[in-house]
Each structure stands twice: as structure tokens, then as C-alpha cells.
């Protein structure tokens, strides 16, 4: 049986790393990264950290729209993407169906199932990576392909 959430988690690590490498390459050419691209990618990684903290009952190290430079994005990716993926790998059926209570950034209280949260985190990240790609293109910079099917094709090529 395929664990789709775990596969999405692995994809998320790959896509975030691929985007970071691409941004490094842009900077290496002497081009400046658009502030909006950094803001959106910061938000994506902040959200991962916030959701991971909610899932584990810990304090988030970041705020939802806190901005990071490229070095900070690398650090936050390393702190959150693999940990989130590991959480997805380790979660059994009882964990996936567990309900958690939390407050969003506006202070509104909610209850959500862990599997729904984990799915949301991956979908949310993909949405914002697409916004980063659009922002790069609008700034005259070439975006990178971080599509899920591209990840699957690369994975299959490694087998």
C-alpha cells in the first residue's frame, strides 16, 4: 500500500531543496532575488515550522509572515522539511486520525485531524512554491520545475 502522505512529505523536502538550490544559482549569477519571492518562501517554511510545533505540542520558533534571507531559508528548511517528513513516516493510523486543537495566527481556535494537517502542509507549500515561480518569471528570472510528477519521474529514474 502506498503511503501518499509520506510520499508527499518526501516530495516536499525535494521541492524545497530544489527551489533553494535554484535560488542559490540565481544569486551566484549576480542577480537579486525578488523580495516577494523571499517573503513567500519564508511564509511556506514558517508554516511548516508552525504546523510541526502544533503537532508536537511545542513552541514555534517563527511567526507566520516572518521574513528570512536566503541563508535563513536554508537553515529553516533544514530544521523543518526533513523533520516534517520524518513525522509523516512515523505516524501510524492512530496518529493520523488524532485530532489536535490549536489557534491560528489570528487567535481563532480549531480542531483538525493530523492527516488533514499533513496533507494541508504539502498542498500549502506547493501553492506558495508556484507563487515564487510566478514572481521569478515576472522579475525576468527563470523559475524551476518543482512539479510532483517531475519528482516522481526523478525518483523512478533513480530506481
> DSSP string of 47-98?
HHHHHHHHHHT---SS-TT----HHHHHHHHHHHHHHHHHHHHH--HHHHH-
How far is residue 44's CA from residue 59's CA, in Å, rounded to a whole number?
17
Q: Which residues are annotated as a binding site?
A: 43, 124, 128
43-75 burial: b if 16+ Cβ within 10 Å, else e? bbbbbbbbbbbbbeeeebebeeebbbeeeebbe
Q: Which residues are annotated as a binding site for a divalent metal cation?
A: 43, 124, 128
Instruction: Tell me phi and psi for residue 110, to 5 degrees.
Output: -145, 160
How far is residue 138's CA from residue 53's CA, in Å, rounded to a whole number?
34
Amino acid at each position: 500500500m502506498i503511503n501518499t502522505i509520506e510520499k508527499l512529505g518526501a516530495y516536499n523536502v525535494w521541492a524545497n531543496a530544489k527551489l533553494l538550490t535554484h535560488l542559490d544559482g540565481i544569486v551566484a549569477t549576480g542577480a537579486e532575488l525578488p523580495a516577494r519571492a523571499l517573503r513567500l518562501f519564508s511564509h511556506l517554511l514558517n508554516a511548516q515550522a508552525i504546523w510541526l510545533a502544533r503537532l508536537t505540542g511545542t513552541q514555534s520558533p517563527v511567526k507566520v509572515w516572518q521574513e528570512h534571507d536566503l541563508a535563513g531559508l536554508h537553515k529553516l528548511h533544514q530544521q523543518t522539511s526533513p523533520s516534517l517528513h520524518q513525522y509523516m513516516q512515523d505516524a501510524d493510523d492512530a496518529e493520523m486520525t488524532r485530532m489536535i486543537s490549536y489557534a491560528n495566527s489570528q487567535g481563532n481556535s480549531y480542531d483538525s485531524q493530523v492527516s488533514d494537517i499533513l496533507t494541508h502542509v504539502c498542498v500549502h507549500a506547493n501553492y506558495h512554491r508556484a507563487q515564487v515561480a510566478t514572481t521569478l518569471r515576472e522579475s525576468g528570472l527563470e523559475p524551476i520545475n518543482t512539479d510532483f510528477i517531475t519528482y516522481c519521474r526523478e525518483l523512478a529514474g533513480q530506481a
